[in-house]
Amino acid sequence: MYWTLELASYLSDAPWPAEKDELIDYAIRTGAPLEVVENLQAIEDEGDLYESIQEIWPDYPTDDDYLWNEDEY
């Protein structure tokens, strides 16, 4: 399983929180690449409810990762 920013972006508008099967269904319905569906299928599922993409791909960049309003120089 591998994620890239491009692949993860297909889940940015997913109906969070969601279960694995809901995310797979969403990816298929929205025409996400096959790699997204395969990555979701590879997740070990114990009936967990995922709150965001960060729970699936912990390296997903957040707003805190960007220095948009950096006041210090």
Cα torsion through 21, 23, 26, 31, rounded to 10 = -110
Domain boundaries, the chain: 16-58
Confidence of residue 69 (pLDDT cuts 50, 70, 90): low
Which pLDDT value is given to residue 9?
A: 92
| C-alpha span between 16 and 60 (Å, rounded) | 15
Which pLDDT value is given to residue 19?
A: 95
Which pLDDT value is given to residue 66?
A: 53
Is the pLDDT higher at 67 or at 41?
41
pLDDT tens digit sequence for 7-66? 999 998 999 999 999 999 999 999 999 999 999 999 988 888 999 999 998 888 865 555
